[in-house]
Chain A
Amino acid sequence: MEPELQVIFASVLLPFVAAIATPLAYRVLGERTGYGGAAVALACFGLVASQIGREGTVAVPWVPSLEIAMRFRVDGWALLFALLASGVGVLVFAYSAAYMHGEDNLARYYATLLAFMGSIIGVAFAADLAALFLFWELTSVCSFVLIGHNTEEDAARYSARMAMVVTVGGGLCLLAGFLLLAVVTDGAATFDLAWMLANDEAVRTALREQGLFVPALVLIGVAAAAKSAQVPLHFWLPNAMVAPTPVSAFLHSATMVKVGVYVLGRLRPLFLGVEWTLLFATLGLATMTVGAALAVIASDIKRLLAYSTASHLGLMVAGFGFRSAAGAEAGAFHLLNHALFKAALFLVAGVVAHEVGTRHLPNLGGLWRDLPVTAAVTVVAALSMAGIPPFNGFYSKELLFEAAYEAGHSAGGLAWAYPVVAVLASVLTVVYSLRFLSIFFGDRPSGLPSVHRAPVALVGPPAVLAALAAVVSVTPETAVDVVVQAAADATAAEAHEMHAGLPSHLTPPVLMSAVTVVGGVAAYPYSDRLGRGIEAVVNVRDALRPTHLYDQSLTAVELGSSFTASRVHNGLLRTYVVWCLGTASGLSLLGYATAAVQWPAMSVFDVPLAMTLVLVVALVAGVAVSVAPSHVAGVLTLSILGFMVAIFYIMASAPDLALTQLVVETLVLLIFLLVLEELPAYYADVKRFVVARDAALSLLVGVTAFVTVLLAGRRADDEQTAVAGYYAEKAVPEGGGTNIVNVILVDFRGFDTLGEIFVVTIAAISVLVLITMRNRGERR
């Protein structure tokens, strides 16, 4: 069934409209604006949910001349992501209303959060490369604003900028990759992603033929890695944790960081091949391991969750990296499962920070008596994160194990590293999940203050998420039927019926899961020692830390720009003249050279002798101005130049110009003489070196002008241009005058002349002000 255009547009536009209305709504509702946001998110959720089961593409033209359209594609994968974005949005808005109590800049906070939700729904449905890029970048911008919510804090500004540089830098790679795609499909589709997906074979062949397959793949890979915090671009995500906790739950675990994964899933049918598996299975498993290892040593509970998010994003990327159907199913199913348990855990971290006042893991423990509901939520979510059966995280991890095992089994050799690394990373995942769980169990540290029961408004949202996770845990087949099967199909090369459930007999993936659980539980008591080992590796060299490299490159850029500024922009007039004219001339000459323009037929004698003479006199006068010993001599020779140009106008059949020029020259001569009266003579030693340097630049400019006139100037016997002919034709019938120049100035282009009059008036007023203000004694 075809999707409904209006419904899809409404679900994308509604959050943006609400974002615009937020500042007004905030005046009326105050801190209850959060519930208003939740209502908007719920409306979006309803709109998106009404499209479940439909499939197809709808579009309205946007920039028809470039074949860009607001094209939306509805399929299982898009619906899953849009449902997640709006569904988690409902809970995050409701949670924010309680959590952000008493904070500043709430109107901006809610407006950005709404705009973000609109962008993410846009990303989910976009089926036009330009629209997809636009929404992708909008999510980065919203993330920047939300991470930097506390604008007064250095850490917030630093982290916001870091996230911006990494994700937007990745976005530029995405644009380049998309342009490569647009280049090969030019003529057929240009930016139409839906067409590309329908004709994937043709697009693949075209990419391969032009040698652009690997470049496009790598560029899109870099973009996805930056957005989805894959090694080595994962470092921005833990720093983004300075954002308020609802933001971390919404953007930096459930939705925005999944945009990279989402696009990989979207483009998977287009690019699937040996290179794809090599790149993304390796990248994903590396991130899964590194993220899990760093989560084991994190001491801040939000940082732990951030590294864990990177690790789980690695799991999804690796899943999509594998060729088999199980890989696509692992990626699609884990996208849902991870959003359910990780958003819940972030909200739990917020509750703990809010009620206990610390996020430092060693200071937390035994909180289950104080926060019983929160503890129950955490048990479900953390065990799901660890992939313990029968919790929902287990099913998707099992699918990944299956895909990794198949890849190892079919390729053999080094490919066996895939299942081994997957198991290793999963063992570490169990360890850090148990660490997170330890804040509710075990001994209560002595320094812990008495803790209040958390309000329903804070516990409710994570409880809803945990309940959903529990539902998926109990009946995974329901989730598969409703949306996951369709999502996996949209990302897979060929259809495959998906099954999720507890294993009934022993298979290699089941064995891998058993090793993971047993290994993780056994390793947990030694997590301190494990942590010291990981830290020793991390601390070997500064150069191994991406944050360090990021800081260094940023410092280098700053140094570079201040160096450039001191050279190009140093307050000296001559510097500006040199750079502007030098670059303009250089680029023009370079352009002529590369375009290999033909020299036109040149003639020395097509200008009348009298005109030649006048021009020679003008040039001589110009030379005299340049070498004039005194100001008065210079001004007088400048006048000669001006009058010669007036005579040139007469000879060039332009009597109006000549008249104007004569009047203006006379006036300029008078003004110059008046001003010179007040100015001292100027004497300075002129260095030969400086004169030679200036002469060289002047020569360059002169040659450029000379060449340009030769190449572009109109020959006397050329056809009259169309626009000149138009004005000549229409002068009498429409302007009522025979002097065409006059008619153009006062009639056809009358408003331009009015502008000119304004310029002269403003110049006159400025002159008056400059001269009279001084006399009124208004000094600096």
Chain B
Amino acid sequence: MSVVLAAAVGGLFALGTFLLLRRDLVRVVWGVAVVSQAANVYLIAMGGVSEGGNSVVPVLSGHGESVPETADPLVQALVLTAIVISFGTTAFALALTYRAYQENETMDVQEWQ
């Protein structure tokens, strides 16, 4: 497996974790966003990444009989769902951040208890 891809996934997970551990709530939300990006890239890596080109895009050329081998469509369907849902959760987390700041008058998650 490609070291480059593995390093990218590992690096993104590490950076996301680091952000999750910050005291600033906005940075925690960034952490969630980065970790979900990392998870998506990870899923794509699990499906296998090959040299780009029209031949492996999972769109068939016509309604003919022959079905060529394509990039894994199932993984892509999963990631598509994940992108949309992570958008929903990020928006919700931001609204929650806004509201939490109004209620607690601080952005520091350590002071909430």
Contacts and interface: CB of A to CB of B under 8 A. Distances in A.
Interface of A: 571-574, 577-578, 581, 600, 602-604, 606-608, 611-612, 615, 618-619, 622-623, 625-626, 631, 634-635, 638, 641-642, 645, 648-657, 660-661, 664, 667-668, 671-672, 675-676, 678-680, 682, 684, 694-695, 697-699, 701-718, 720-721, 723-725, 727-729, 731-732, 738-741, 744-745, 749, 752-753, 756, 759-760, 763-764, 766-767, 770-771, 774, 780
A296 to B, nearest CB: 58
B9 A653 contact: no
B88 A763 contact: yes
B14 A767 contact: no
A649 B44 contact: yes
Contacts of A710: 1, 3, 6
Interface of B: 1-21, 23-24, 26-28, 30, 33-34, 37-38, 40-42, 44-53, 56-63, 67, 69-77, 79-81, 83-92, 94-99, 101-103, 107-110, 112-113
A694 B57 CA distance: 40
A607 B2 contact: yes
Contacts of A668: 33, 87, 90-91
Contact of B85 (A604, A651, A756): A756
23 contacts: A573-B28, A602-B2, A615-B5, A645-B41, A652-B52, A653-B57, A654-B79, A661-B83, A664-B84, A702-B13, A703-B14, A709-B45, A713-B48, A715-B48, A716-B48, A720-B70, A720-B72, A721-B74, A728-B67, A728-B70, A729-B67, A740-B58, A767-B95
A712 B73 CA distance: 18
A728 B73 contact: yes
Contacts of A732: 60, 63, 67
Contacts of A680: 101, 107
A749 B77 contact: yes
Given A625-B15, A767-B91, A752 B81 contact: yes
A612 B80 contact: no
A656 B14 CA distance: 27
A282 to B, nearest CB: 57
- Looking at chain B's contact residues, the main secondary structure is helix
Nearest to B38: A705
A612 B40 CA distance: 17
Contacts, number: 305
A744 B107 contact: no
B3 A603 contact: yes
- Looking at chain A's contact residues, the main secondary structure is helix
A577 B20 contact: yes
B45 to A, nearest CB: 5
A626 B18 contact: yes
A724 B51 contact: no
Contacts of B60: 728, 731-732, 738-740
Contact of B14 (A645, A679, A698, A745): A698
Contacts of B86: 664
A608 B84 contact: no
Contacts of A612: 4
Contact of B57 (A655, A708, A756): A655
B95 A709 contact: no
B4 A602 contact: no
Contacts of B80: 656-657, 660, 741, 745
Given A684-B108, A739-B59, A759-B88, A602 B74 contact: no
A709 B77 CA distance: 20
A128 B73 CA distance: 47
A33 to B, nearest CB: 52
B34 A638 contact: yes
